[in-house]
């Protein structure tokens, strides 16, 4: 149940500190031209066509996006395509539309009425198919349940669910009535739920009794109960879907069962007429402070971008069976499991559980069983499959695949080649898509029928995306040199803000370079103009494709009574991209030993959730600081990855600290 397919912790407590990310042993210089068979059917068939479209999209965005947006269903046509006063963006001004109507009603009057919208497989093996007609009906009924429970336009609704079709139903039902959903990944803890509920002042939570993960039940409702303890919560109602059937606590007056509520409602629910800039959802993501940011997306621009990228990047066709392995709790699940594919009228496959349950071939079995044709997953999952061995996929027929995608972190060339040869049989284009929660959809990506690909690069910008790779003064850096990745023009699905925090929105994204969006990533462009993403250059880690703020983990650690101070850094990890290493100093009289290290790991899991479990706790007598008191993370990173120390240590307050740290490890 993780973001991009999560092949988290199959085993191994202690991972070798191998610098695999982007520092591949294999130098792969080949360029892969689009497969001619693919090109025949592709919407965009050549680089010339891509370039013409891209030029128009950045030079005349109003014309380009105005035309594209006409493919959506508008209740009232928009006037101006776009208004921009940095950092405030408006798209399709004055237009009215409804996301659920675009994803459902639009498809049920013609041949797609009985087409599968969602194909679902539960981890224990149940199978369900919801046609567009059926999904429409379920969404309308559940929208009425929301109304019955007091939800109105603009209200915030928390969705904390397993990967079951009802998660999509709940999201779409919110959009039908103009409520703002905020989905929380099932791997987050009660405390994380509480923080998010408080931040957005949600009045309603939709959850399930539990979900399945690697054969065990994840007690979702229990976490919700813990999150709502105390009397100061904004939550008035909790709607519970029965998934696992285990005993749960039901709080009279607050908790209601999903299936019981359905008995009171009918299946008619008109789609609310919503202004194009109506808030659609809030999704919390990690930043460089301890407090996650509630990224806000709105209706028209977001829908257009997720629709357009499914059309041009996945090049979805009516007969595709499309599978995005991301959890609905992450932005990839929002844009590429639910909204984009459904807006296209595609068939979207959803799988509830782990990739290695009951055995390591579950994904390949699913591809074979349902004849999946377009498959979108994360490099961390691909590396896990490589490690588990080729025989797992050789047992299955994967010939239905025609396009592969990756997202979440840089893909190392070995993993790319393995994906290309073993999964794609050498014939499928691979789209390595760079984007963020904030961008709403793909930003840098190959166009599969046009762009020649090179293993390890996300290649070129998508339509309307004007990328710069710049130095601190905003000057474009020369080819092959690393710089900061910025986006120079607003785009339809850009975030519209951080919920309740205008200042942080301005400061985080728009203050480094005036008028440009700073993504937090470093990158370089090669001589062909291809963009190679280096990764985060702020204090955000990318662990198995999950974004995690070092400050979040630090604040979880110092909330433990034994901890005096902590500094958290990432170190390269062969499977997960990055692992979490915590340097900790303890309070007077506390014994820093193995059992405390275990306790601290468990504490972080409890405070943030299993996604944040530290790989290593290293105790130290002191942390290396500059004379002005700043922790020297650069040194800690080098120590954590076992490198010899490089660079300037002259500002270090006490050089002895370093020697001691290099020796100390809580694991031993």
In the region spanning residues 209 to 228, those forming contacts with ligand 7RM, defined by CB under 6 A, are none
Provide, rounded to whole angstroms, the least separation between the CB of residue 330 and ligand 7RM: 6
Nearer to ligand 7RM by C-beta: 271 or 331?
331
Provide, rounded to whole angstroms, the least separation between the CB of residue 386 and ligand 7RM: 18
Provide, rounded to whole angstroms, the least separation between the CB of residue 557 and ligand 7RM: 22
Q: What is the DSSP string of 432-447?
A: EEB--GGG-S--B---
* Region at 72 (left for phi over 0; alpha for psi -120 to 50; beta for the rest): beta
Site string for ligand 7RM, 133-172 (x = CB under 6 A): ----------------------------------------
* 432 touches ligand 7RM (CB under 6 A): yes
Nearer to ligand 7RM by C-beta: 373 or 412?
412
Provide, rounded to whole angstroms, the least separation between the CB of residue 295 and ligand 7RM: 8
Closest C-alpha among 349, 411, 365, 410 to residue 386: 411
* 327 touches ligand 7RM (CB under 6 A): no
* 285 touches ligand 7RM (CB under 6 A): yes
User: Segment contacting ligand 7RM (CB under 6 A): 164-172, 175-183, 237-245, 535-543?
Assistant: 535-543
Residues that contact ligand 7RM, how many (by CB under 6 A): 22
* 314 touches ligand 7RM (CB under 6 A): no
Q: Which helix (H) or strand (E) holds 520?
A: strand 517-525
Q: Is 30 exposed, middle or buried (0-12, 13-18, 19+ CB in 10 A)?
A: exposed
Pick the binder of ligand 7RM from 218, 310, 533, 658 (CB under 6 A).
533
Q: Is 562 exposed, middle or buried (0-12, 13-18, 19+ CB in 10 A)?
A: middle
* 282 touches ligand 7RM (CB under 6 A): no
DSSP 643: P
Distance between CA atoms of residues 256 and 460, nearest Å: 49
Total H helices, total E strands in the chain: 21, 30
* 331 touches ligand 7RM (CB under 6 A): yes
Provide, rounded to whole angstroms, the least separation between the CB of residue 545 and ligand 7RM: 6
| Cα-to-chain-centroid distance, residue 52 | 31
The sign of the CA dihedral 461, 462, 463, 465 is negative
Provide, rounded to whole angstroms, the least separation between the CB of residue 523 and ligand 7RM: 9
Contacts of 604 (CB under 8 A, 6+ apart): 553, 556, 557, 582, 612, 613, 614
Cα separations (Å) of 323 from 5, 223, 281, 343, 460?
11, 29, 23, 15, 24
Provide, rounded to whole angstroms, the least separation between the CB of residue 156 and ligand 7RM: 20
* 434 touches ligand 7RM (CB under 6 A): yes
Provide, rounded to whole angstroms, the least separation between the CB of residue 547 and ligand 7RM: 4
Distance between CA atoms of residues 664 and 642, nearest Å: 12
Instruction: Read off the tokens for 56.
Output: 């128009």
Pick the binder of ligand 7RM from 437, 550, 638, 641 (CB under 6 A).
437
Pick the binder of ligand 7RM from 35, 134, 332, 641 (CB under 6 A).
332
Site string for ligand 7RM, 374-413 (x = CB under 6 A): ---------------------------------xxxx---
Return the bridge partners of 88, or none.
85
- CB 129 within 8 Å of CB 116: yes
Q: Is 371 exposed, middle or buried (0-12, 13-18, 19+ CB in 10 A)?
A: middle
Nearer to ligand 7RM by C-beta: 298 or 309?
309
Site string for ligand 7RM, 536-555 (x = CB under 6 A): x-----x----x--------
Helical H segments across 454-586, by residue range? 502-510, 550-558
DSSP 107: G
Provide, rounded to whole angstroms, the least separation between the CB of residue 519 and ligand 7RM: 6
* 433 touches ligand 7RM (CB under 6 A): yes
Nearer to ligand 7RM by C-beta: 434 or 509?
434
Provide, rounded to whole angstroms, the least separation between the CB of residue 542 and ligand 7RM: 5
Q: Which residue has 């932005």 as its token pair?
A: 331
Provide, rounded to whole angstroms, the least separation between the CB of residue 536 and ligand 7RM: 5
Provide, rounded to whole angstroms, the least separation between the CB of residue 367 and ligand 7RM: 21
User: Segment contacting ligand 7RM (CB under 6 A): 215-223, 225-233, 514-522, 619-627?
Assistant: 514-522
User: Segment contacting ligand 7RM (CB under 6 A): 132-140, 490-498, 530-538, 586-594?
Assistant: 530-538
Distance between CA atoms of residues 635 and 659, nearest Å: 11
DSSP 410: P
Site for ligand 7RM, rule CB under 6 A: 285, 331-332, 407-410, 432-437, 458, 519-521, 533, 535-536, 542, 547
């Amino acid at each position: 149940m993780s973001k991009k397919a999560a092949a988290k912790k199959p085993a191994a407590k202690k991972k070798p500190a191998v610098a695999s990310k982007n520092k591949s042993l294999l130098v792969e210089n080949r360029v892969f031209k689009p497969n001619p068979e693919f090109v025949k059917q592709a919407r965009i068939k050549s680089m010339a066509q891509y370039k013409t479209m891209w030029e128009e999209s950045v030079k005349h965005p109003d014309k380009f996006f105005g035309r594209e947006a006409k493919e959506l269903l508008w209740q009232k046509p928009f006037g101006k395509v776009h208004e921009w006063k940095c950092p405030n963006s408006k798209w399709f001004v004055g237009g009215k539309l409804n996301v659920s109507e675009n994803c459902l009603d639009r498809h049920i009057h013609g041949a797609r009425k009985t087409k599968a919208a969602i194909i679902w497989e539960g981890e224990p093996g149940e199978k369900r198919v919801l046609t567009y007609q059926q999904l429409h009906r379920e969404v309308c009924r559940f929208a009425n349940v929301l109304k019955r429970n007091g939800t109105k336009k603009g209200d915030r609704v928390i969705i904390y669910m397993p990967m079951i079709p009802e998660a999509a139903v709940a999201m779409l039902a919110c959009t039908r009535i103009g409520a703002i959903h905020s989905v929380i990944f099932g791997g987050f803890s009660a405390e994380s739920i509480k923080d998010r509920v408080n931040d957005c002042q949600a009045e309603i939570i939709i959850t399930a009794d539990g979900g399945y993960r690697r054969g065990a039940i994840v007690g979702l409702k229990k976490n919700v109960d813990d999150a709502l303890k105390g009397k100061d919560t904004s939550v008035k109602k909790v709607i519970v879907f029965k998934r696992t059937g285990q005993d749960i606590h039901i709080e009279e007056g607050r908790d209601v069962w999903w299936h019981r509520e359905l008995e009171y409602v009918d299946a008619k629910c008109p789609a609310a007429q919503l202004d194009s800039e109506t808030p659609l959802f809030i999704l919390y993501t990690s930043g460089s402070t301890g407090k996650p940011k509630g990224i806000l997306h709105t209706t028209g621009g977001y829908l257009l971008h997720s629709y357009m990228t499914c059309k041009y990047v996945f090049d979805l066709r009516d007969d595709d069976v499309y599978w995005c392995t991301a959890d609905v709790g992450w932005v990839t699940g929002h844009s590429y499991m639910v909204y984009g594919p459904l807006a296209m009228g595609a068939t979207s496959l959803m799988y509830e559980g782990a990739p290695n349950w009951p055995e390591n071939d579950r994904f390949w079995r699913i591809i074979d069983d349902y004849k999946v044709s377009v498959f979108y997953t994360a490099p961390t999952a691909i590396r896990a499959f490589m490690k588990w061995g080729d025989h797992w996929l050789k047992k299955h027929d994967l010939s239905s695949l025609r396009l592969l995608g990756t997202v979440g972190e840089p893909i190392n060339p070995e993993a790319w080649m393995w994906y290309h040869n073993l999964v794609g049989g050498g014939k499928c284009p691979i789209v390595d898509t760079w984007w963020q929660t904030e961008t709403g959809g793909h930003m840098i990506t190959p166009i599969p029928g046009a762009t020649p690909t090179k293993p390890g690069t996300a290649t070129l910008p998508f339509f309307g995306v004007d990328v710069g790779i710049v130095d601190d003064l905003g000057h474009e850096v020369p080819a092959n040199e690393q710089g900061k990745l910025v986006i120079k023009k607003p785009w339809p699905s850009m975030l519209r803000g951080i919920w309740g925090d205008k200042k942080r929105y301005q400061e985080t994204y728009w203050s480094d370079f005036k008028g440009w969006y700073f993504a937090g990533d470093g990158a370089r462009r090669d001589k062909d103009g291809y963009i190679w993403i280096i990764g985060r250059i702020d204090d955000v880690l990318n662990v198995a494709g999950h974004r995690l703020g070092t400050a979040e983990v630090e604040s979880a650690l110092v909330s433990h009574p034994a901890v005096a101070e902590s500094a958290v850094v990432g170190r390269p990890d062969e499977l997960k991209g990055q692992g979490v290493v915590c340097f900790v100093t303890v309070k007077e009289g506390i014994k820093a030993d193995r059992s405390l290290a275990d306790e601290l790991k468990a504490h972080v899991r409890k405070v943030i959730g299993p996604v944040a479990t530290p790989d290593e706790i290293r105790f130290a007598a002191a942390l290396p600081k500059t004379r002005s008191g700043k922790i020297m993370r650069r040194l800690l990173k080098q120590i954590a990855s076992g490198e010899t120390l490089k660079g300037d240590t002259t500002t270090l307050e006490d050089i002895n600290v370093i020697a001691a740290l290099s020796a100390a490890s809580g694991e031993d």
